[in-house]
């Protein structure tokens, strides 16, 4: 009991592993390694998704339903930072974890610097776009003047944080790749908590509304970036593990071979991430066709979905790191075992979270200030999300395993099919036919179910084995 109280998330993962081990579905030692690597990342996810949820709750409490809609419609644009940064970061974790597994620490510095340079080059134009054309961008999704005003004010300031958000993904994945999930948890979760505190002061104390929420996000992301950079140069933060390689800031950033590997691995991942980001534009516009109350309920439930999906932060990146390390050590069969067993653990943990969310659905909705006529709609959407989150566990974890191998195209294809051939058409049917809100229920299931089936099939074929050999460390050392 004392151990559970000290680290409940790790204890839940280990307990799930013990149950699955009784049926011969997982190995206890692999479960322990997974739990050690996954739980800090899950804590990070909870902190960051809680921050997103609290943003909406604070704005809703201070300004009402139209402010919720404005912030919600700005969300897909902000997601571009994570689509671009996440794509580069997938290449980062693949390169770093394989070099760590092969004990080629001298090759890590170039991978880290090239990743940082690439993500800055990709995200600065996005910042310029948001600063110059916020009103025009929000107007693409709605004609409501109050929603446009709130959304454009929020997006203009938020754009300044896009490069920092991308760099933070790089910093996090670097540490995950060397089996250290503790350091990024401390840094990013601390940043999320600081964000909540700053927002509370700016939104309620200084009456800055949505602008205050945006400033809080920018400032906290900039601080996290600074801490990550300092930790890599110095070699460690207080109370954290030492980083296994020296990373020089004054050195080459644009290395052709490294950039080529990052682009080859990361482009499909950026595409996969962008599928949801891009899909959110028509999805939110379609939901808005049903009415502002339904739109507000949907935005709130997407924030709750983000919290339900936080185990995927840990299991997906644990799969990337552990599969990558085993491949770097030329242990392909063990890499496969990790991919399959971490997926089984993920499903078990997701099921527990989904059950708890469904039980407390009404209370969760009320925390966001949803209007009374939207409560029933939001609760129904939570029930649908609680079912759809189970295939999401498979989708996220197997995608993480495939990322480590360099086989990143199929998860991109599966995500595209799930959104554009499944979720969006079903939502449109809901908005334009008597199917109604049931279209949104089915959209949740299609969004996660289709990619889950395709990703698992691809991993089961084993074709990733040959693909991964193209990205494993060179025999000769590289200069840092």
Q: How do residues 149-175 score in pLDDT, each as one tens digit?
A: 988 999 999 899 999 988 998 888 888
Determine the average pLDDT of the residues in 7-18: 91
Number of Cβ within 10 Å of residue 19's Cβ equals 12
Counted residue by residue, the chain has a size of 480
Looking at residue 252, its pLDDT comes to 77
If phi > 0 it is left, if psi is from -120 to 50 it is alpha, else beta; for residue 335 that is alpha
Query: Would you give the distance in Å from CA 443 to the centre of its chain?
Result: 20
Looking at residue 474, its pLDDT comes to 54
The Cα-based distances of 351 to 73, 354, 356, 385 in angstroms read: 30, 5, 9, 12
Alpha-carbon distance of 54 to 220, in angstroms, equals 15
Alpha-carbon distance of 273 to 203, in angstroms, equals 30
Determine the average pLDDT of the residues in 241-253: 73
Number of Cβ within 10 Å of residue 57's Cβ equals 17
Mean pLDDT of the chain: 85
- In the three-class reduction of DSSP (H, G, I as helix; E, B as strand; rest coil), residue 141 is classed as coil
Model pTM above 0.85:
no
Determine the average pLDDT of the residues in 86-113: 77
Looking at residue 447, its pLDDT comes to 94
**Residue scoring higher pLDDT (14 or 181):** 14
What are the tens digits of pLDDT across the range 211-244? 898 899 899 999 999 998 888 877 767 666 777 6
Looking at residue 2, its pLDDT comes to 46
If phi > 0 it is left, if psi is from -120 to 50 it is alpha, else beta; for residue 7 that is beta
Indicate the DSSP class of residue 107: G
Determine the average pLDDT of the residues in 379-402: 94
The Cα-based distances of 292 to 150, 296, 383 in angstroms read: 14, 6, 21
What are the tens digits of pLDDT across the range 321-335? 889 888 877 888 999
Picking from 220, 306, 234, 418, the residue whose alpha carbon sits closest to that of residue 42 is 306
Instruction: Determine the longest span between alpha carbons in the chain, in angstroms.
Output: 66
1 burial via Cβ count (<10 Å: 0-12, 13-18, 19+): exposed
Query: Would you give the distance in Å from CA 207 to the centre of its chain?
Result: 30
The Cα-based distances of 465 to 92, 335, 367, 458, 478 in angstroms read: 19, 9, 47, 11, 24
What are the tens digits of pLDDT across the range 260-309? 878 887 777 777 677 767 888 889 889 988 888 888 889 889 889 988 99
263 half-sphere exposure, CB direction, 13 A CA radius:
11
Contacts of 65 (CB under 8 A, 6+ apart): 292, 293, 296, 371
Cβ(345)–Cβ(17) below 8 Å: yes
Weakest mean pLDDT among 134-138, 260-264, 465-469, 474-478 = 474-478
Q: Does residue 475 register a pLDDT over 60?
A: no
Alpha-carbon distance of 372 to 302, in angstroms, equals 18
Number of Cβ within 10 Å of residue 263's Cβ equals 14
Q: What are phi and psi of 144, to 5 degrees?
A: -75, 120
What are the tens digits of pLDDT across the range 411-437? 888 988 999 999 999 999 999 999 989
| Percent over 70 (pLDDT), the chain | 93
Q: Does residue 476 register a pLDDT over 60?
A: no
């Amino acid at each position: 009991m004392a151990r559970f109280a000290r680290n409940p998330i790790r204890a839940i993962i280990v307990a799930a592993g013990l149950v699955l081990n009784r049926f011969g579905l997982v190995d206890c030692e692999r479960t322990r390694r997974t739990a050690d690597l996954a739980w800090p990342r899950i804590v990070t996810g909870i902190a960051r998704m809680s921050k997103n949820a609290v943003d909406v709750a604070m704005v809703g409490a201070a300004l009402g339903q139209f402010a919720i809609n404005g912030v919600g419609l700005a969300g897909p644009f902000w997601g571009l930072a994570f689509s671009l940064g996440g794509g580069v970061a997938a290449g980062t974790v693949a390169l770093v974890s394989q070099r760590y597994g092969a004990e080629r620490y001298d090759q890590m510095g170039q991978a880290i610097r090239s990743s940082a340079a690439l993500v800055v080059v990709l995200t600065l134009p996005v910042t310029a776009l948001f600063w110059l054309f916020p009103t025009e961008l929000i107007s693409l999704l709605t004609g409501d003047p109050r929603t446009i005003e709130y959304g454009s004010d929020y997006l203009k300031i938020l754009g300044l944080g896009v490069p920092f958000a991308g760099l933070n993904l790089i910093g996090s994945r670097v540490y995950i790749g060397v089996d250290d999930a503790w350091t990024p948890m401390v840094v990013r979760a601390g940043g999320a908590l600081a964000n909540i505190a700053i927002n509370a002061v700016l939104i309620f104390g200084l009456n800055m509304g949505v602008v205050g929420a945006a400033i809080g996000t920018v400032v906290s992301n900039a601080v996290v970036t600074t801490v990550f950079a300092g930790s890599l140069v110095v070699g460690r933060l207080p109370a954290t593990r030492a980083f296994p390689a020296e990373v020089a800031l004054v050195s080459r950033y644009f290395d052709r071979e490294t950039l080529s590997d990052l682009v080859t691995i990361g482009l499909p991942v950026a595409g996969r991430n962008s599928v949801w980001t891009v899909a959110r534009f028509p999805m939110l516009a379609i939901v808005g066709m049903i009415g502002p109350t339904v739109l507000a309920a949907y935005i709130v439930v997407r924030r709750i979905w983000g919290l339900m999906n936080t185990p995927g932060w840990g299991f997906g990146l644990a799969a990337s790191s552990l599969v990558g390390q085993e491949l770097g050590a030329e242990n392909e069969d063990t890499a496969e075992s990790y991919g399959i067993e971490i997926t089984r653990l993920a499903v078990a943990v997701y099921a527990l979270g989904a059950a708890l969310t469904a039980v407390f659905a009404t209370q969760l909705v009320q925390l966001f200030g949803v209007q009374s006529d939207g409560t029933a709609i939001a609760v129904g959407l939570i029930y649908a999300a609680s079912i759809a989150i189970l295939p999401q566990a498979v989708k996220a974890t197997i995608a993480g395993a495939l990322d480590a191998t360099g086989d990143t195209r199929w998860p991109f294809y599966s995500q595209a099919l799930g959104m554009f051939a499944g979720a969006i058409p079903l939502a449109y049917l809901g908005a334009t036919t008597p199917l109604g809100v049931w279209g949104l229920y089915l959209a949740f299931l299609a969004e996660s179910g289709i990619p889950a089936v395709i990703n698992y099939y691809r991993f089961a074929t084993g074709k990733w084995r040959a693909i991964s050999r193209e990205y494993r460390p060179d025999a000769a050392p590289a200069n840092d």
